[in-house]
Structure formats: C-alpha cells, structure tokens
Amino acid sequence: MLLAGGEGSRLTVLSEKRAKPAVPFAGKFRIIDFTLSNCVNSGIYTVGVLTQYRPHSLADHIGIGKPWNLDRSRGGVRILPPYQERGGQHWYAGTADAIYQNLGFLRDNQADLVVILSGDHIYKMDYGPMIQAHLDRGADLTVAVMPVPLEETHRFGIMVVDDEGRITEFYEKPKERDKGNLASMGIYVFNASALERRLNEEPGVRVDFGRDIIPAMVTGGDRVISYRFEGYWVDVGTIDSYWATNLELLGSNPGLDLYSNHLPILTRSEERPAVKVGPQGRISNSLLSNGCVIRGTVINSVLSPGVQVSPGAVVQDSVVMNDTWIGPGARLDRVVVDKQVVVGAGVVLGTGDCNVPNAQHPDKIYAGISVVGKGAILPDGAVIGRNVLVGIDRDESHFPPDRQVGDGQTI
C-alpha cells in the first residue's frame, strides 16, 4: 500500500498543481518511481496507490502500470482515491485512516502481510530481507529505521529500541532532542490481522500511523520490531533538499546510482529524440534527458525532457523541468524551474544575496535557491534575485515595469 496523497506544501509551487510524489526528479523520473520500482524489484506485484491531493498528474503517469510490469490481470497496480458512500466514507484524515478506508482492497487480495510505503522518498531498497526478518522474528509490525542528525529529529518519528531491536518507545516528531536519533523511514511491514485489528479500534486512534497506531501498538503489547536500513534514503520535502539531492547525482561518487542494473529505477518513457548539441553547445557534469536541444552552456545541472537552451545562454547549478525554453543570453544560477516555462532573452535568474530569505515563505525558501512555477513567462531582460518565488502562469504583466525582482521577493 503506497501512500501518495501528500500535498508537499514545503515544495511551494512545485506541488501546487500536483501531488508531491508526482514531482519530476533527476530529469526523466517522478519521485514515486523510486517506491514503485522498489516494489517490483522486491517481487511485490500487487500494489494499491492511495491518492488524494491533486491526483491527476500522478494517475496519468502511472496509467495501467506497464513500465513497472504492473499491468496484470491478477494483482498489478490500482489507484485508490478517497470516496463517499452512504456509510459515511470521507477524505483521508491521515495515513492510518487511508489504509482503514481501503481494508476491502486487502481482503479482496487475501493479504496476510501488508507493506505500507511512502511515495515521496528517494531511495533503492529490496524489501525482501525486511519481510523475511519480520517473519523470522514473529513480529506484528516491523518498522524500517535509520539514524538521522539530532537537529532533524523533529521531522521524524523517533524510537527507542532494546538490545534485540524491539521498539520500546515511540515519539512522533518530538520537539526535544533527548529521545535519540533513530528515525522511522515510513516503511512498515504489518501482519494483516494485527493491522486490521488496530484499525478497527475506536476511530480516534486510527488517524495516523506515527501519531496513533505505532505508539498504541508499542504500549499495548504488540510485538513491534525495528529493521535497520544501511543504504541511501532522502526525503526531498523542501526546496533546498530537492535541489541538493538532484545535484548530488552529478558527483563522482553519488549515494544513489541510477546507472546500476541492481534494483533499476523504472519510469514511463516518452517517445522523444536523443539529446541534440549544437555547434555552440557546451555541457559539463550534467544530466540531460531525451529531447533536449543544447545550443548554449549547461554546467552541473539536471534537465528534464524537451528543455531547449539557446545560444549564449548559461544554465549552472540548476534543475530545469520538461519543455522549458531558455532564451538567448539568459543566465540561470542555483534555480529550480518547473515545466513549460519561457525564460526570455537576456534574463538573469538567480543573482544577489543568498542570505535574504523569501519574505512570504521564509521557512520554505531560504537557501539561496529561486523557484519558478509551471508555465511562467519571464520577460526579456528581467533580473531576478535569490530566494525569489515566481508563481504558476505568471507573465510580463505580473513583473514590475523595470523587470527587476529583488532578493526574497514573490511574483
């Protein structure tokens, strides 16, 4: 059961018209591709994808599941949106409530074990060893865990384990830093019977797994076991982590290897021609997807399918999504640009003081990275500073007359 209904509000305009798992990543992929691929690489071929917020882009991407070999008459992938019926079904109130509303899907598939996953993390993992450890240890619930920096523990479920790895205490996003740093990865293996029993308890205790279900199981005597994961795992839930994780792929020894045949990441491929590099084109240490046309310079950047870089333009330390056109002489530095953006001739996007946070979103855009929403048109000659947010479908009429946008502003 793949939880993919998240809004991802910290990604600002990147998730304004799509669920967080549908946000493009590493050029040709979507974030959800990693979890879907992990399932089939682990031999799991019955997958329910639970959607809620802005599900259309996600549903279009998954389709009938053919790229992941999930287009099957038995099992396969199934989109599970919330629905209403006379019995009072409603929008998913939380992660546990989403599973509760789809217990019928588990019963229909005669599940004895249920793997519950988040669709918005970047990692490769074979779930098979974790499932085997769950069976070997006679667990009711097994939780994948890994240590995180103490300063980030407030973002995770933090647990205390005994010498045998049994979870004895669980704290959901604690404000204090004295609970340790062993964090839940949002990867759970449940015995189906234990899961259903807990979800059928009073409605007030089945809203969220981290806040409600897991603490109740720990204190209620269920056998809740930890499973330590040693590999690469990142939650790209903020603008700076999204940008940094994309650019990490360009290093000489990235934590995530997209080119290995071991646990390959699969996606829906688009029928586009190969990358074309013109006579003035220069590319250095970058990832370019099919359909890109490079007549300018691309340095240390990640480009999705169909991006066009005009002569004299320079794209550096940036992430640029599908079908964006970058005009002659434009300069892009430390920016994230969504789909179908037009960057006019001579535009300077990303210049100025990195230490001035965005005035409207100081908690989301503060690391010197400017963000441009889908379909925006940046007028010729515009100069746009650091930590700037340009909204979806903005055009020349939204810019000041002098086309100067200072650090930390929002258009």
Cα(240)–Cα(238) distance, rounded to whole angstroms? 6
* pTM tops 0.85, yes or no: yes
Question: Above 90 in pLDDT, residue 405?
Answer: yes
Predicted pLDDT at 50: 96
Domain of 394? 276-405
Predicted pLDDT at 324: 98
Instruction: Give the CATH number of the domain where residue 46 resides.
Output: 3.90.550.10
pLDDT band at 205 (very low <50, low <70, confident <90, very high): low
Question: Above 60 in pLDDT, residue 89?
Answer: no
Q: Is 156 contained in some domain?
A: yes
Q: Is 253 contained in some domain?
A: no
**Cβ atoms of 33 and 294 closer than 8 Å:** no
**Separation of CA 339 from chain center:** 16
Are residues 197 and 313 located together in one domain of the fold? no
What's the whole-number mean pLDDT along residues 185-191?
97
For residue 70, give Cα distances in angstroms to 46, 75, 98, 307.
8, 8, 22, 30
Predicted pLDDT at 252: 84
Model confidence over 211-253: pLDDT tens digits? 999 999 999 999 999 999 999 999 998 999 999 999 999 988 8
End residue of a domain, out of 232, 248, 264? 248
Predicted pLDDT at 253: 86
Are residues 176 and 280 located together in one domain of the fold? no
In the block, tokens 């939880």 appear at 3
Q: How many domains does the chain have?
A: 2
**Cβ atoms of 255 and 236 closer than 8 Å:** no
Q: Is 266 contained in some domain?
A: no
Indicate the range of 91-95, 322-326, 369-373 predicted with least confidence.
Answer: 91-95
Are residues 82 and 142 located together in one domain of the fold? yes
Q: Is 256 contained in some domain?
A: no
What share of the chain has pLDDT > 90, as a percent? 84
What's the whole-number mean pLDDT along residues 127-142?
98
Q: Could you please report the per-residue DSSP string of 360-388?
A: S-TTTS-SS-EEE-TT-EEPTT-EE-TT-
Predicted pLDDT at 176: 86
**E strands in 254-341:** 276-277, 282-284, 287-288, 293-294, 297-299, 302-303, 308-309, 314-316, 319-320, 325-326, 331-333, 335-337
In the block, tokens 């230490």 appear at 355
Residue 352 backbone class (left: φ over 0; alpha: ψ -120 to 50; beta: rest): left
Predicted pLDDT at 270: 78
End residue of a domain, out of 212, 229, 248? 248
Model confidence over 303-360: pLDDT tens digits? 999 999 999 999 999 999 999 999 999 999 999 999 999 999 999 999 999 999 999 9
Question: Above 60 in pLDDT, residue 86?
Answer: no
Question: Above 70 in pLDDT, residue 256?
Answer: yes
pLDDT band at 175 (very low <50, low <70, confident <90, very high): confident
Predicted pLDDT at 224: 97
Are residues 177 and 296 located together in one domain of the fold? no
Q: Is 410 contained in some domain?
A: no
What's the chain's average pLDDT? 94
Sign of CA dihedral 356, 361, 365, 371: negative
**Residue 96: CB atoms within 10 Å:** 24
**Amino acid sitting at position 144:** A
Model confidence over 32-76: pLDDT tens digits? 999 999 999 999 999 999 998 888 999 999 999 999 999 998 899
Model confidence over 265-291: pLDDT tens digits? 999 987 789 999 999 999 999 999 999
Are residues 244 and 322 located together in one domain of the fold? no
pLDDT band at 257 (very low <50, low <70, confident <90, very high): very high
Are residues 147 and 190 located together in one domain of the fold? yes
What's the whole-number mean pLDDT along residues 116-127?
96
Cα(279)–Cα(115) distance, rounded to whole angstroms? 51
Are residues 215 and 298 located together in one domain of the fold? no
Q: Name the helix (H) or strand (E) containing 56.
A: helix 56-62
Tokens of 391: 């909204």
